[in-house]
Amino acid sequence: MTRAIQPLQPIKSTFSHRMLRIAASCWLIVASVGQWLFGFYILLFYGKTTLTSDFERWNRVLPHGYVAGDWVGNLIVGIHVLLASILVIGGPIQLLPWVRHQAPVFHRRLGQLYLVTAIVVSIAGLVMVWTRGSVGDTIQHYSISLQAVYIMGFAYQSIRYAKARQFNQHRIWALRLFMVTNGGWFFRVGLMSWLVINGGPVGFDPQSFTGPFLTFLAVFTYAIPLSVVLLELYLYACQTLNKTLNYLVSATIFLVTLLTTIGIFGATLGLWFPQIK
């Protein structure tokens, strides 16, 4: 394929470009498994409690999840968490090359569903933060709100370029959207990775859910998403012949893959599995 039609692949098949591809594939495989585990938790925990009308159980994981009598607020929480499963299960499916090439109609339909769902989940999330309240402090609340703005802006750009049939730009914006939409997942995985590595809470107070580490994590996950910064570095490295940069970006992605693996392990055993077993 030529560079003109395939900007997300390295321009040459040098060793340093192959390393970039391997690093990105490793991260994507690990992240896909981690997101599907999060998706199964959402379906099994929120799906089951919703079907059995056992809404009080939401408060075991969400301090502001269910408020007796406030059916509008509860409905918004329900919409937020249940539709979130479409994003965390559907996102990695959209990135599977096989789906893109062999099932283009499915890819298009799932893409449309993903875009609409991302916007609805973000609006519901904004309502939750600013009406019901959320764990953490004001910096965390502003940071996650900024994430909602990015999600809606990137979704708009992605739709715009798809409609204009500029598919290179569409794919780049869709990848940026994938990164910001997964902010909540990155936050949980980052937090659990930190807890596993330190053997417990360091740099924050688990009771108030505030402290320097959580401020850092919220700002660099939501407000200035490092996931998007790394994606941009990867896209740039794919187009350059600067071997040093390519190795540096590959090494960073490998390191992130290791931290992601640790975080998924911690989140699955510490957060998700205990709620569904």
- Name which position in 135, 251, 255, 276 contacts ligand HEM (CB under 6 A): 135
- What's the min distance (Å) between Cβ of 80 and ligand HEM? 6
- What's the min distance (Å) between Cβ of 81 and ligand HEM? 5
Residues near ligand HEM (CB under 6 A), total: 27
Task: Tell me if 35 sits within 8 A of 92, measured CB to CB.
Answer: yes
Distance CA 242, CA 247 (A): 9
Exposure string over 190-213, b if 16+ CB within 10 A, otherwise e:
bbbbbbbeeeebeebeeeebbbeb
φ/ψ (deg, to 5) at 4: -60, -35
Positive/negative CA dihedral, 174, 175, 179, 180: negative
| Site for ligand HEM contains 224 (CB under 6 A) | no
| Site for ligand HEM contains 128 (CB under 6 A) | yes
For ligand HEM, which is the closer residue by CB, 16 or 85?
Answer: 85
Give the distance from CA 276 to its chain's centroid. Answer: 21
Of the listed pieces 107-115, 127-135, 159-167, 193-201, which binds ligand HEM according to CB under 6 A? Answer: 127-135
Task: Tell me if 49 sits within 8 A of 58, measured CB to CB.
Answer: yes
| Site for ligand HEM contains 217 (CB under 6 A) | no
- Name which position in 129, 189, 195, 253 contacts ligand HEM (CB under 6 A): 129
Task: Tell me if 246 sits within 8 A of 240, measured CB to CB.
Answer: yes
- What's the min distance (Å) between Cβ of 35 and ligand HEM? 9
Of the listed pieces 21-29, 47-55, 144-152, 156-164, which binds ligand HEM according to CB under 6 A? Answer: 144-152
User: What count of Cα atoms within 13 Å lies in the side-chain half-sphere of residue 198?
Assistant: 12
Distance CA 119, CA 133 (A): 20
- What's the min distance (Å) between Cβ of 187 and ligand HEM? 9
| Site for ligand HEM contains 179 (CB under 6 A) | no
Q: 37 to 76, contacts with ligand HEM by CB under 6 A?
A: 42, 61-65
Contacts of 80 (CB under 8 A, 6+ apart): 121, 124, 125, 128
Distance CA 87, CA 273 (A): 20
Q: 80 to 119, contacts with ligand HEM by CB under 6 A?
A: 80-81, 84, 87-88, 118
- Name which position in 19, 93, 144, 249 contacts ligand HEM (CB under 6 A): 144
- Binding residues for ligand HEM, rule: CB under 6 A, are 42, 61-65, 80-81, 84, 87-88, 118, 121-122, 125-126, 128-129, 134-135, 144-145, 147-148, 151, 181, 184
